[in-house]
Amino acid sequence: MRVTRVVPRRPPGRRSGRPRLRGAAVALALAGAAAAALAVVLVLVLVLAGGGSGDGSGGRRALSADEADRLAITRFLNYRAGGRAVTVTVPSTAGGLAVTGSVDYRAGVGYGVVRGSGRDASSDGLIEWTATRVFVHPMADAPAVAPASPPGSGWYGRPLTTAGSSLDSSLAIVLGLGSDRPDNAELLPQNGAARVGRATVRGHRVTVMNGPHDRDGKGTSGSVRYWVGPDGTMYRVRASVASEAQPVVIDFDTHAYLSVRPLPGVTPAS
């Protein structure tokens, strides 16, 4: 006997659910792919933006062995170089000061031009300093660069004091960025030093690191931040000063280095 199979008809206007399900699956897949692509783009944007960041923000973590080695030698490299050209941006509620000059890290003396803005403009002139003394030569129209030979007269000397003076604190910090021996790389992480991120300073790729706890016990590991190149060269330092809310910023190699000549009667590293 032959059996005929009868297939029931669908009511008019009703379609199979498979195409609709298949279409929904495709839509979900496309949406997922788009989201993944967007995530990749966002990651690339964040990476590229972080690469050019001036403050080096990129997530704090412990120093690697290589980073600790570079931080350990960065002050010693300043000393070994003999001297570095510096621009020191000094915070001040009266307007701010900028010292453009050179530091002889072996002799322990700095020399340059100081310029002020706002009420601090009255401080314009030449400046030379050691660890204990500051000498100023007032000038109504201070040059952009200090003369190679300091004037033989017109200088006024006073003791360097870090209490209540953002300028003197900044000058002392600059001289402290040189050392006749490397720091102990193994102790740096133990004393609070850490990696902050990466940045670019005047075309140099650098690692940004917080220094160890203040060697004099006056600050924390975050109070001094270093921008250090792959070979340990120091390109920028930012440090807190007790007398101001804003930090002092020291930039290196912003101009040509000028040999520092001590003033008559001034004993370097005194």
Map residue 246 onto helix, strand or coil. coil
What pLDDT sits at residue 121? 74
Q: Do 156 and 27 have their domain in common?
A: no
CATH number at residue 128: 2.50.20
Tell me the per-residue pLDDT of 4-51, one tens digit each, with 9 for 90 and over.
444 445 444 444 444 443 444 444 344 444 444 333 332 332 333 333
Q: Please give the average per-residue pLDDT across 154-164, as a whole number.
A: 91
- The beta strands (E) that lie in the chain are given as 61-62, 83-90, 97-104, 109-116, 125-129, 133-138, 156-159, 194-201, 204-210, 224-228, 234-239, 248-252
Q: Quick check: is 144 in a domain?
A: yes
Q: Mean of the per-residue pLDDT values for the chain?
A: 80
In terms of pLDDT, which residue wins out, 24 or 192? 192
Structural domain that includes position 132: 61-252
Name which residue leads in pLDDT, 249 or 10. Answer: 249
In the chain, what percentage of residues exceed pLDDT 90?
60
The answer to whether position 136 is within a domain reads yes
Is residue 161 within 8 Å of residue 90, measured between CB atoms?
no
Give the per-residue pLDDT at 256.
94
- Residue 104 lies inside a defined structural domain of this protein: yes
- 35 and 136, same domain (yes or no): no
4 domain-assigned:
no
Whole-model pTM: value is 0.75
Do 42 and 66 lie in one domain? The reply is no
Domain shared by 108 and 215, yes or no: yes
25 & 126 share domain: no
pLDDT band at 221 (very low <50, low <70, confident <90, very high): very low
Residues 40 and 153 occupy one common structural domain? no
